[in-house]
Amino acid sequence: MKSKEIITHSAAETKRLGKILAEEILKTKSEGALIIGMEGDLGSGKTSFIQGMAKGLGIKGKITSPTFVILKKYKIPKTVRCLYHIDCYRVQADDLIDLGFKEIAENPQNIIVIEWAERAKKILKNTPRIKFEHLGEDKRKIIL
Element housing 6 (H / E): strand 5-8
Question: Beta-carbon neighbour count of residue 92 at 10 Å?
Answer: 13
Give per-residue pLDDT as tens, 76-123. 999 999 999 999 999 988 999 999 999 999 999 999 999 999 999 889
Residue 24 predicted with pLDDT over 80: yes
pLDDT the model gives residue 74? 97
- Distance, in Å, from the CA atom of 67 to the CA atom of 115, rounded to the nearest integer, reads 9
pLDDT the model gives residue 1? 62
Percent of the chain exceeding pLDDT 90 equals 83
Element housing 104 (H / E): helix 101-106
> What is the rounded average pLDDT of the residues 14-38?
92
pLDDT band for position 53 (cuts 50, 70, 90): very high
Percent of the chain exceeding pLDDT 70 equals 99
Nearest to 63 by CA among 55, 77, 51, 75: 51
Element housing 50 (H / E): helix 46-56
Q: Where are the beta strands (DSSP E) in 9-139?
A: 34-39, 71-75, 82-87, 110-115, 129-134
Residue 54 predicted with pLDDT over 90: yes
Give per-residue pLDDT as tens, 133-143. 999 999 999 99
pLDDT the model gives residue 28? 84
Is pTM beyond 0.75? Reply is yes
> What is the rounded average pLDDT of the residues 42-51?
95
> β-strand 140-143 against 71-75: which pairing, if any?
unpaired
pLDDT band for position 125 (cuts 50, 70, 90): confident
Q: For the structural domain made of 5-143, what CATH number should be given?
A: 3.40.50.300
